[in-house]
Structure 1
Amino acid sequence: MNTVDFTELGAFREGLPESERFETFRFFVARWDIVKARYIIQKANKPVGSLRVASAARVYGLDRPQTEESAVAVDETRGMSETIDTRVPVILALLKGASSPILIDGLHRLYKAYREGKETLPCYALTSEEEQLCRI
Protein backbone atom coordinates (compact mmCIF):
# COMPACT_ATOMS: atom_id res chain seq x y z
CA MET A 1 0.00 0.00 0.00
CA ASN A 2 1.47 3.34 -1.07
CA THR A 3 -1.22 5.74 0.10
CA VAL A 4 -3.91 5.99 2.74
CA ASP A 5 -7.48 6.98 1.96
CA PHE A 6 -8.12 9.33 4.87
CA THR A 7 -11.90 9.11 4.49
CA GLU A 8 -11.72 5.32 4.84
CA LEU A 9 -9.22 5.64 7.69
CA GLY A 10 -11.59 8.02 9.48
CA ALA A 11 -14.47 5.56 9.12
CA PHE A 12 -12.21 2.72 10.29
CA ARG A 13 -11.15 4.79 13.33
CA GLU A 14 -14.77 5.64 14.19
CA GLY A 15 -15.67 1.94 14.09
CA LEU A 16 -13.24 1.16 16.91
CA PRO A 17 -14.03 1.40 20.62
CA GLU A 18 -13.40 4.98 21.75
CA SER A 19 -10.45 3.92 23.92
CA GLU A 20 -8.63 2.53 20.84
CA ARG A 21 -9.26 5.30 18.29
CA PHE A 22 -6.05 7.24 18.82
CA GLU A 23 -3.60 4.56 19.91
CA THR A 24 0.04 5.38 19.25
CA PHE A 25 3.39 3.80 20.03
CA ARG A 26 6.65 5.62 20.76
CA PHE A 27 10.11 4.10 20.50
CA PHE A 28 12.79 6.63 21.45
CA VAL A 29 12.00 9.58 19.10
CA ALA A 30 9.84 7.68 16.58
CA ARG A 31 6.05 7.50 16.91
CA TRP A 32 3.47 5.47 15.00
CA ASP A 33 -0.29 5.70 14.57
CA ILE A 34 -1.34 2.16 15.49
CA VAL A 35 -4.87 2.65 14.18
CA LYS A 36 -3.41 3.53 10.79
CA ALA A 37 -1.24 0.40 10.98
CA ARG A 38 -4.32 -1.71 11.74
CA TYR A 39 -6.17 -0.05 8.84
CA ILE A 40 -3.28 -0.84 6.44
CA ILE A 41 -3.17 -4.44 7.67
CA GLN A 42 -6.89 -4.87 7.05
CA LYS A 43 -6.86 -3.04 3.70
CA ALA A 44 -3.88 -5.07 2.43
CA ASN A 45 -5.40 -8.30 3.79
CA LYS A 46 -2.07 -9.18 5.39
CA PRO A 47 -1.56 -12.74 6.54
CA VAL A 48 -0.95 -13.54 10.19
CA GLY A 49 2.61 -14.70 10.86
CA SER A 50 4.40 -15.99 13.96
CA LEU A 51 6.84 -14.20 16.23
CA ARG A 52 9.25 -16.27 18.31
CA VAL A 53 8.57 -15.13 21.84
CA ALA A 54 11.88 -16.00 23.55
CA SER A 55 13.99 -14.32 20.86
CA ALA A 56 11.84 -11.19 20.79
CA ALA A 57 11.72 -10.99 24.60
CA ARG A 58 15.51 -11.15 24.69
CA VAL A 59 15.80 -8.30 22.14
CA TYR A 60 13.58 -6.07 24.29
CA GLY A 61 15.17 -7.09 27.59
CA LEU A 62 12.02 -8.76 28.87
CA ASP A 63 13.99 -11.88 29.79
CA ARG A 64 15.71 -10.15 32.71
CA PRO A 65 14.58 -8.06 35.70
CA GLN A 66 13.63 -4.48 34.86
CA THR A 67 15.78 -1.71 36.27
CA GLU A 68 15.93 2.04 35.81
CA GLU A 69 18.50 1.41 33.08
CA SER A 70 16.23 -0.96 31.12
CA ALA A 71 15.62 0.20 27.55
CA VAL A 72 11.99 -0.95 27.70
CA ALA A 73 9.70 -0.71 30.71
CA VAL A 74 6.53 -2.76 31.10
CA ASP A 75 3.98 -2.33 33.85
CA GLU A 76 4.18 -5.91 35.13
CA THR A 77 0.74 -5.87 36.77
CA ARG A 78 -0.93 -4.65 33.59
CA GLY A 79 1.21 -6.96 31.48
CA MET A 80 -0.10 -10.03 33.28
CA SER A 81 -3.71 -8.84 33.56
CA GLU A 82 -6.67 -10.59 31.96
CA THR A 83 -7.11 -7.62 29.60
CA ILE A 84 -3.89 -8.54 27.78
CA ASP A 85 -4.88 -11.08 25.13
CA THR A 86 -1.94 -12.92 23.60
CA ARG A 87 -4.20 -14.23 20.82
CA VAL A 88 -4.35 -10.72 19.32
CA PRO A 89 -1.52 -10.33 16.78
CA VAL A 90 1.29 -7.92 17.59
CA ILE A 91 2.49 -5.56 14.86
CA LEU A 92 6.04 -5.50 13.53
CA ALA A 93 7.42 -2.83 11.21
CA LEU A 94 10.51 -2.90 9.04
CA LEU A 95 12.37 0.39 9.22
CA LYS A 96 13.99 1.65 6.03
CA GLY A 97 17.47 0.17 5.73
CA ALA A 98 17.00 -2.23 8.65
CA SER A 99 17.52 -5.97 8.37
CA SER A 100 14.89 -6.97 10.92
CA PRO A 101 11.59 -5.42 12.01
CA ILE A 102 10.78 -3.80 15.32
CA LEU A 103 7.69 -4.23 17.48
CA ILE A 104 5.39 -1.20 17.23
CA ASP A 105 2.33 -2.70 18.92
CA GLY A 106 2.02 -5.45 21.51
CA LEU A 107 4.81 -5.04 24.05
CA HIS A 108 2.51 -6.11 26.91
CA ARG A 109 1.37 -9.14 24.88
CA LEU A 110 5.00 -10.09 24.28
CA TYR A 111 5.75 -9.68 28.00
CA LYS A 112 2.79 -11.85 29.00
CA ALA A 113 3.55 -14.50 26.39
CA TYR A 114 7.15 -14.71 27.61
CA ARG A 115 6.10 -14.99 31.27
CA GLU A 116 3.56 -17.68 30.37
CA GLY A 117 6.17 -19.66 28.42
CA LYS A 118 4.48 -19.39 25.03
CA GLU A 119 6.67 -20.26 22.04
CA THR A 120 5.07 -17.94 19.49
CA LEU A 121 2.75 -14.98 19.20
CA PRO A 122 0.63 -14.18 16.16
CA CYS A 123 1.91 -11.12 14.32
CA TYR A 124 1.46 -8.86 11.33
CA ALA A 125 4.42 -7.32 9.53
CA LEU A 126 4.48 -3.94 7.82
CA THR A 127 6.90 -3.17 4.99
CA SER A 128 9.20 -0.16 5.30
CA GLU A 129 6.85 1.79 2.99
CA GLU A 130 3.84 0.93 5.16
CA GLU A 131 5.83 1.78 8.29
CA GLN A 132 6.49 5.25 6.87
CA LEU A 133 2.77 5.75 6.24
CA CYS A 134 2.13 5.08 9.95
CA ARG A 135 4.76 7.50 11.27
CA ILE A 136 3.53 10.51 13.17
Structure 2
Amino acid sequence: MNATGREVFQFLAYRWDVTAALDIAATLPVRRTATAPLAAALPLIRIDPGHAATADLRRPLLLVTVAELDHTQFLVDGWHRLFRAVREGHEHLPCHVLNAHQELQVRLCGGSKAAALRTPQKDGAPARPERRRRARPPDHGDDDR
Protein backbone atom coordinates (compact mmCIF):
# COMPACT_ATOMS: atom_id res chain seq x y z
CA MET A 1 0.00 0.00 0.00
CA ASN A 2 1.15 3.51 -0.66
CA ALA A 3 0.57 6.62 1.43
CA THR A 4 -2.93 7.07 -0.04
CA GLY A 5 -3.99 3.59 1.08
CA ARG A 6 -4.00 2.22 -2.46
CA GLU A 7 -2.12 -0.92 -3.41
CA VAL A 8 0.42 -0.39 -6.17
CA PHE A 9 2.82 -2.73 -7.94
CA GLN A 10 6.02 -1.59 -9.60
CA PHE A 11 8.20 -3.57 -11.98
CA LEU A 12 11.19 -1.71 -13.41
CA ALA A 13 9.83 1.60 -14.76
CA TYR A 14 6.19 0.46 -14.82
CA ARG A 15 3.78 1.06 -11.94
CA TRP A 16 0.12 0.06 -11.69
CA ASP A 17 -2.70 0.99 -9.33
CA VAL A 18 -3.65 -2.51 -8.19
CA THR A 19 -6.63 -1.21 -6.21
CA ALA A 20 -8.16 0.26 -9.39
CA ALA A 21 -7.20 -2.84 -11.38
CA LEU A 22 -8.99 -5.09 -8.88
CA ASP A 23 -12.11 -2.94 -9.20
CA ILE A 24 -12.09 -3.51 -12.96
CA ALA A 25 -11.24 -7.20 -12.54
CA ALA A 26 -14.32 -7.70 -10.37
CA THR A 27 -16.41 -7.12 -13.52
CA LEU A 28 -14.48 -9.65 -15.63
CA PRO A 29 -14.84 -13.40 -16.01
CA VAL A 30 -12.40 -15.69 -14.24
CA ARG A 31 -10.06 -17.49 -16.63
CA ARG A 32 -7.23 -19.97 -16.09
CA THR A 33 -3.58 -19.33 -16.85
CA ALA A 34 -0.52 -21.55 -17.01
CA THR A 35 1.91 -20.96 -14.15
CA ALA A 36 5.15 -21.87 -15.97
CA PRO A 37 5.39 -18.80 -18.26
CA LEU A 38 4.66 -16.44 -15.36
CA ALA A 39 7.13 -18.22 -13.08
CA ALA A 40 10.03 -17.15 -15.29
CA ALA A 41 9.87 -13.70 -13.64
CA LEU A 42 9.77 -15.01 -10.05
CA PRO A 43 13.54 -14.55 -9.49
CA LEU A 44 13.00 -10.81 -10.08
CA ILE A 45 10.30 -10.47 -7.39
CA ARG A 46 10.84 -10.31 -3.63
CA ILE A 47 8.83 -13.17 -2.11
CA ASP A 48 8.19 -13.88 1.57
CA PRO A 49 8.01 -17.71 1.71
CA GLY A 50 6.05 -17.57 4.97
CA HIS A 51 3.38 -15.40 3.40
CA ALA A 52 3.39 -17.52 0.24
CA ALA A 53 2.68 -20.64 2.29
CA THR A 54 -0.66 -19.15 3.36
CA ALA A 55 -1.63 -17.67 -0.03
CA ASP A 56 -5.12 -18.66 -1.21
CA LEU A 57 -4.71 -20.39 -4.58
CA ARG A 58 -8.45 -20.05 -5.24
CA ARG A 59 -8.12 -16.25 -5.44
CA PRO A 60 -7.52 -15.22 -9.08
CA LEU A 61 -4.21 -13.75 -10.17
CA LEU A 62 -4.40 -10.34 -11.83
CA LEU A 63 -2.77 -9.91 -15.23
CA VAL A 64 -2.61 -6.79 -17.39
CA THR A 65 -2.07 -6.68 -21.15
CA VAL A 66 0.69 -4.19 -22.04
CA ALA A 67 0.08 -3.09 -25.64
CA GLU A 68 3.46 -1.56 -26.40
CA LEU A 69 5.22 -4.72 -25.18
CA ASP A 70 3.64 -6.78 -27.97
CA HIS A 71 0.49 -7.31 -25.88
CA THR A 72 2.42 -9.21 -23.21
CA GLN A 73 0.32 -10.19 -20.22
CA PHE A 74 2.08 -9.24 -17.01
CA LEU A 75 1.25 -10.31 -13.46
CA VAL A 76 0.56 -7.33 -11.18
CA ASP A 77 -1.13 -9.09 -8.26
CA GLY A 78 -0.65 -12.63 -7.03
CA TRP A 79 3.10 -13.24 -6.94
CA HIS A 80 2.92 -15.10 -3.62
CA ARG A 81 0.09 -17.27 -4.97
CA LEU A 82 2.17 -18.00 -8.06
CA PHE A 83 5.21 -18.88 -5.93
CA ARG A 84 3.16 -21.30 -3.83
CA ALA A 85 1.51 -22.84 -6.90
CA VAL A 86 4.86 -23.46 -8.60
CA ARG A 87 6.35 -24.89 -5.41
CA GLU A 88 3.38 -27.25 -5.00
CA GLY A 89 3.32 -28.28 -8.67
CA HIS A 90 0.10 -26.55 -9.79
CA GLU A 91 0.21 -26.03 -13.55
CA HIS A 92 -2.73 -23.59 -13.77
CA LEU A 93 -4.33 -20.92 -11.60
CA PRO A 94 -7.47 -18.81 -11.90
CA CYS A 95 -6.91 -15.28 -13.17
CA HIS A 96 -8.47 -12.05 -14.35
CA VAL A 97 -6.94 -10.39 -17.41
CA LEU A 98 -7.28 -6.66 -18.05
CA ASN A 99 -7.16 -5.78 -21.74
CA ALA A 100 -4.75 -3.17 -23.07
CA HIS A 101 -7.28 -0.35 -22.77
CA GLN A 102 -8.04 -1.25 -19.15
CA GLU A 103 -4.30 -1.58 -18.43
CA LEU A 104 -3.77 2.02 -19.52
CA GLN A 105 -6.49 3.12 -17.12
CA VAL A 106 -4.60 1.65 -14.15
CA ARG A 107 -1.00 2.31 -15.24
CA LEU A 108 0.49 5.07 -13.13
CA CYS A 109 3.80 5.38 -14.97
CA GLY A 110 6.19 3.58 -17.25
CA GLY A 111 6.37 2.84 -20.91
CA SER A 112 4.84 5.19 -23.38
CA LYS A 113 1.12 5.68 -23.07
CA ALA A 114 1.21 7.62 -26.34
CA ALA A 115 2.74 4.62 -28.13
CA ALA A 116 0.28 2.28 -26.46
CA LEU A 117 -2.63 4.38 -27.64
CA ARG A 118 -1.40 4.05 -31.23
CA THR A 119 -0.96 0.26 -30.93
CA PRO A 120 -3.89 -1.66 -32.44
CA GLN A 121 -5.78 -3.69 -29.87
CA LYS A 122 -6.07 -7.46 -30.23
CA ASP A 123 -8.94 -7.65 -27.78
CA GLY A 124 -11.42 -5.37 -29.48
CA ALA A 125 -10.86 -2.42 -27.17
CA PRO A 126 -10.60 0.96 -28.87
CA ALA A 127 -7.08 1.71 -30.04
CA ARG A 128 -7.39 5.22 -28.73
CA PRO A 129 -9.75 6.75 -26.19
CA GLU A 130 -12.15 9.20 -27.73
CA ARG A 131 -10.83 12.73 -27.72
CA ARG A 132 -12.95 15.77 -27.30
CA ARG A 133 -12.41 18.28 -30.05
CA ARG A 134 -12.17 21.89 -29.14
CA ALA A 135 -14.78 23.97 -30.86
CA ARG A 136 -13.36 26.23 -33.54
CA PRO A 137 -14.40 29.84 -33.54
CA PRO A 138 -16.87 30.56 -36.31
CA ASP A 139 -15.40 31.74 -39.60
CA HIS A 140 -16.63 35.26 -40.30
CA GLY A 141 -15.08 35.48 -43.74
CA ASP A 142 -13.14 38.63 -44.57
CA ASP A 143 -14.62 40.66 -41.75
CA ASP A 144 -11.73 42.83 -40.47
CA ARG A 145 -13.53 44.34 -37.51
TM-score (norm 1): 0.69
In structure 2, distance between residues paired with 1:46 and 1:25: 20
Q: Which residue of 2 aligns with 1:7?
A: none
Q: Which residue of 2 aligns with 1:55?
A: 37
Unpaired runs of 5+ residues, structure 2, are 109-145
What is the aligned length?
A: 103
Letter in 2 for 1:95: V
- 1:123 aligned onto 2:86: no
Greater RCO, 1 or 2 (C-alpha within 8 Å, sep 6+): 1
After superposing on structure 2, the runs of 4+ consecutive aligned residues of structure 1 that deviate more than 6 Å are none
Q: Which residue of 2 aligns with 1:74?
A: 47
Q: Which residue of 2 aligns with 1:114?
A: 86
The percentage of counterpart residues that share the same residue type is 34
Structure showing greater radius of gyration is 2
What is the RMSD of the two structures over their aligned residues, measured on CA atoms? 1.5
In structure 2, distance between residues paired with 1:128 and 1:90: 17
Unpaired runs of 5+ residues, structure 1, are 1-20, 63-69
TM-score (norm 2): 0.65
Q: Which residue of 1 aligns with 2:22?
A: 38
In structure 1, distance between residues paired with 2:31 and 2:19: 19
1:34 Cα deviation from its structure 2 partner? 0.9
